[in-house]
Structure 1
């Protein structure tokens, strides 16, 4: 079945027989038992809810995994994921991660006894050199946020298999429409469902998708114990958003290609970070492991004054955090998404006062280009 069709019909809902085309919102905290020792399959919505279950089946289907768990936010998903590890465990992670993930790792997980090393995970020799006896997992974003570094998932997975390590991939930027890490050797996929999966900037959500049943069982136990499950109504919003995922991703990528070309031609733009440009270092790897380039663009302008001018002068494009929605958003990483990353680390990664990040939406590309043109003038 084609991916577009699976976005709409990716799971069969057998919980009702009304013929409703839209999955019902089961807005119930608890479920009655037919008798002692008997269950309808649902007991309490923290454990499972029919609306959330439908959504999870859709996500598992799209990522070609065995199970998906829907959380209240992307950070809630990563927080639960870290409960797989014990005091003293070591994790190797991409150095250019979303700032909230770095904040969690460095301020919560380290406090609780986990150890982290950060590097450009496209450097396979250096990655291998960091593996030690207590290493348990490799955590990567590809492409990364916001510098758009690309990691070869299959190559990392091959190294991980040698040392019996988990491979965890944050697939938020490309979604399963363009990239399916589990088919490339990853064990767990992470999503901020708030972004492209929802697609409308109207709800928060997160997902973990597993390749093997044993990981699913461990995470389900953590899930029901810690309790950061996605509500029935938010699950319904995600189900609705995913129905248009394929057509949104295709149009947004088309727009991004045009905007990246425009930005590359501008005198005040010094560098464009977009994996769809042939001169991007990860272009060939991207073509090998993904079917598209997505619609996230970062670009560096000539001065801090120019960066602030763009942020203040855009009118169609919105100066706001987040990404992946129908609206084009522009973000200032140094004061928004990565404000909590230590300054020295941030600058070392290229996140400076001249860097802007843009999530390209569904507007007409010419209108977006004109807005950027006047903002840069």
Structure 2
């Protein structure tokens, strides 16, 4: 057996152990939950030093809590980043990051396929404060390079993207952004650090909706951003402390820490079942088009194979009957639940045109590759054969 003592521990080992020693908490195997809003100082000078930033410690629960700090340390380690910040939701992480880094007159270049609320933030929210966004097809690197010929503060994209699972070349886009003097922000919610690590591919910051796979059980709301320590400290000091005040609760931080312990195991099963579902759907007569990065039929499969270690737990497909077919499929499933979100133990099905991407107008959806017949499945942890049976029955038994 090889000597691994000088090797970095594996992903699951770090997800379970990193950043915590039971000896620091009276031997408690599970890290304690610090349910406190404020912290006492040993002396006036100690408190003053904390406020001046000359000493590490805790002042007030809005910006930092020991349970939160452990989660942030662990998430940063798993993503290969210097530091992390946990917040109350994925949108809190995104808005705190963008509001901290951008100001009036700044410009963002973003991929045209985004989660509906992220699209609304960029197209309608930040524009109220004089921050403009140009939406570009990030699978077309020439178009991205052209957009970056005009100064931009940052580029923003998801990969795989919500809801049609387009895959963006993180290394290529990050190189273009860096050459143009822009920061690269990547939403890694769908892949998680189990399957993809954007920092290693050149991204500056990574954001997550921890509500999804990181928590994994559909029982919490949370978000996170990881990246260079200086940038993360700025987002904590501005984006969290007074721009949003979107503080994560200690109990929620604890639940995500618990979820991380099984993340690698859960993703393996999500991917196994999602691959089986995708293989079923790719030749089904009712399906016009399938989107699953793990299959060669995906338009960006070659990029996915380079930067991801699996196809992920989501499958998107377009039904030939359009809007009515999508709604009909959703109404016929019996095992899967009609619900937004993803990454839960339960299989979830949603119709982007009427649900998560209703913020896009009909013309915008058509222009951005979100057809009315598109259905998105978040494949859960049920027995694979049961998931397949449910889908076949909902498709009409063809």
TM range (shorter): over 0.9
Structure 1 distance, partners of 2:392, 2:22, is 52
2:281 equivalent among 263, 268, 277: 263
The answer for the alignment partner of 2:192 in structure 1 is 175
Structure 1 distance, partners of 2:333, 2:24, is 48
Instruction: Report deviation, 1:281.
Output: 1.4
From the superposition, tell whether residues 13 and 55 of structure 1 become closer, same or farther in structure 2 (CA, over 3 Å).
farther
Structure 1 distance, partners of 2:13, 2:246, is 30
1:31 equivalent among 35, 39, 42: 39
1:146 equivalent among 156, 159, 163: 163
Instruction: Report deviation, 1:14.
Output: 7.3
Structure 2 distance, partners of 1:156, 1:15, is 44
Q: How many residues align?
A: 376
The answer for the alignment partner of 1:253 in structure 2 is 271
2:221 equivalent among 200, 204, 208: 204
8 A Cα contact 2:336 2:346, kept in partner: yes
CA RMSD of aligned residues (A): 1.4
Instruction: Report deviation, 1:217.
Output: 2.5
- What do the CA deviations read for 1:210-263 (whole angstroms, capped 9, x no partner)? 1x2321222121122232121101101111111100000011000000000111
2:334 equivalent among 308, 315, 321: 315
Alignment of 1:52 onto 2:51 = no
8 A Cα contact 1:55 1:238, kept in partner: yes
Unaligned runs of 5+ in 1: none
Instruction: Report deviation, 1:338.
Output: 0.5
Other structure's SS at 1:276 match: coil
- What do the CA deviations read for 1:30-68 (whole angstroms, capped 9, x no partner)? 111111122582221112101101111110010010111
Unaligned runs of 5+ in 2: 1-8, 48-55
The answer for the alignment partner of 2:301 in structure 1 is 283
Q: Which moved more, 1:353-362 or 1:303-312?
A: 303-312
- Please give the TM-score of this superposition, normalised by the length of structure 2: 0.92
Structure 1 distance, partners of 2:19, 2:139, is 35
Instruction: Report deviation, 1:13.
Output: 4.8
Other structure's SS at 1:110 match: helix
Structure 2 distance, partners of 1:208, 1:36, is 33
8 A Cα contact 1:88 1:134, kept in partner: no
- What do the CA deviations read for 1:90-114 (whole angstroms, capped 9, x no partner)? 1110100000100111121011111
Other structure's SS at 2:60 match: coil
The answer for the alignment partner of 2:290 in structure 1 is 272
Other structure's SS at 2:246 match: coil
